[in-house]
Structure 1
Amino acid sequence: MMFPTTSRVSLRTCPMKAPRSSFTVAIESYNRPSLHNRVEVFTILITNAWELLLKAEIIKASDNIDAIFYKDSDRSLAIRDALKQRIPKENDPVRKNLEKVCDLRDNAVHLLIPELQAHWSRLFQANVLNFITRYEDATGENLFNSGRGMLSLIVDREAAELATIKLKFGEASAETVELFLQRFLADEEELDTPNFAIPVDYRLVLTKANQQGDIVLSHGEGGRRAIKVVQSRNIDKTHPHLMMEAVELIGERLPEHHVTRPRVTAICEKHHIYNSPGSKYYDEIQKPFTRRFSDTFVDWVVEKASEDTEWIERAWDWYS
């Protein structure tokens, strides 16, 4: 399969116009029920939009358009190489999300089937919201200031059973689907953040009544602008503990482990807790920057250390 390539001219003259156009067409394609292969078209266009955005960022950071080309070559960086440059952390949920979408694009013949759209729509919706955030952070512009809106990508139905997929598409396809799904669901459980995949209990709506959804893209004045609105939550209830409070609570329940702040920090680093603010374990406040932890995090550490007496010490050795 051939994918769109980067235009040196378009990125030199209008570096942010190209990703915006590709992104808009991707959304429009997905939301056209009459387009039979709309999911496959969406993955190609949205990954191209990301590739153009990442390369525009590379050009801006280096002030050199040649930075997006391989050394001694006219071939521009593949999206995965551009992604590694701009998001070097392997377990960053935004990077993991985009890598999964790239995997879907590369294996479209096996994975982009209607029966799996309930799963992929959650991945795609997170990808779209991540793109909007990154584009607007990079440009300071509202992505939809030209009057275009964005419809929900969430599919409100259950995914088909693997037995049904095997019967309809064959054993080879079913095995490929099963392997990919296992990895996808494992990553979703580990990362536990809407930056990777929108959970099934999120509701995304286009409405003036913000209380109807957890994430809302609402009408602006006269319906001309699309404004992203995220319904707030009380962090004092969801993540009530500062670091030292969490350390003390864990230490009280694990007196034999000599729990200290550095050891809890080691646990957080080894298990990528800090990579997923807003997860069931961890959140943060930006001004002033403050780390916050949930009761679920405390219970998780206690459970892991109780099951394996060397668990905390291994995290400490790894961190040290």
Structure 2
Amino acid sequence: MSWEQLIKAILIERDGEDSIYKPSSKKGIRETISLRVALDRLFKGAHSIRKNIEIIADWRDKAVHLLMPELQGLASRVFQSGVLNYSAKFEQFTETPFLHAQHSGMLSLVGDFKLPPASVLRTNYGLAADDILGLAMAAEEDIKNSNDIEFAIPINVSLVYAKDG
């Protein structure tokens, strides 16, 4: 919701107040455009911030973030990027900090970043397990392929053997 309001404010500033309204209905009711339409107008083409907002909006619409704690590790990386993106865009637009320096405003990257085996998911969720697994694998693949902090916080860990000297 905060993204929708910020994007609409940017569009009003850039294109005028009428730019965020749909044509009036037969009853004369003025409705604003949806988040996805606003995204189309602000971010042209493939854009990491747009992709981040879209995946979060999809999860919100499907309420998957409430249904699947197994996605916590992946989701926290996407949500954290959303917080950083919003903060930067808010500050760019308003020329004021989103949060004062003494407030971190950050989510914690917590949880186990590995999905439980499919058999455990099936025991816990029955037929929905395949949907959960598919969603998790798709999210994991999107994160891996983007490797972009504006989409999801990358977590790259390398173990190396080093010789002192």
Is the contact made by 1:110 and 1:176 (CA closer than 8 Å) also made in structure 2?
no
Q: Equivalents in 2 of 1:151, 1:139: separation in Å? A: 20
Please identify the structure whose Cα radius of gyration is greater: 1
- CA positional deviation for 1:75: 1.7
In the alignment, what sits opposite 2:24? 72
* Letter of the structure 2 residue corresponding to residue 136 of structure 1: E
The total of aligned residue pairs comes to: 152
In the alignment, what sits opposite 2:7? 54
TM-score by length of 1: 0.44
Q: Higher relative CO (CA 8 A, sep ≥ 6), structure 1 or 2?
A: 2
**Cα deviation digits, residues 33-87 of structure 1 (max 9, x gap):** xxxxxxxxxxxxxxx000001000111101x322211122422111111011100
TM-score by length of 2: 0.81
In the alignment, what sits opposite 1:121? 76
In the alignment, what sits opposite 2:39? 83
Q: Equivalents in 2 of 1:165, 1:176: separation in Å? A: 10
Is the contact made by 1:53 and 1:135 (CA closer than 8 Å) also made in structure 2?
yes
CA RMSD of aligned residues (A): 2.1
- CA positional deviation for 1:146: 8.5
* Letter of the structure 1 residue corresponding to residue 33 of structure 2: L
**Structure 2 vs 1, CA of residues 117 and 193 (structure 1 numbering), >3 Å: closer, same or farther?**
same
Q: Equivalents in 1 of 2:53, 2:67: separation in Å? A: 16
- The DSSP-based 3-state class of the residue aligned with 2:124 is helix
Gapped runs of 5+ residues in structure 1?
Answer: 1-47, 203-320
**Structure 2 vs 1, CA of residues 75 and 180 (structure 1 numbering), >3 Å: closer, same or farther?**
same
Is the contact made by 1:118 and 1:157 (CA closer than 8 Å) also made in structure 2?
yes
- The DSSP-based 3-state class of the residue aligned with 1:104 is helix
Give 1 or 2: higher strand fraction: 1
Q: Determine whether 1:188 maps to 2:146.
A: no
Q: Determine whether 1:104 maps to 2:59.
A: yes
- CA positional deviation for 1:111: 6.4
**Structure 2 vs 1, CA of residues 146 and 199 (structure 1 numbering), >3 Å: closer, same or farther?**
closer
- CA positional deviation for 1:196: 0.8
- CA positional deviation for 1:185: 2.3
Identity across aligned pairs (percent)? 30
**Cα deviation digits, residues 171-200 of structure 1 (max 9, x gap):** 2x2222222223222222322211111122
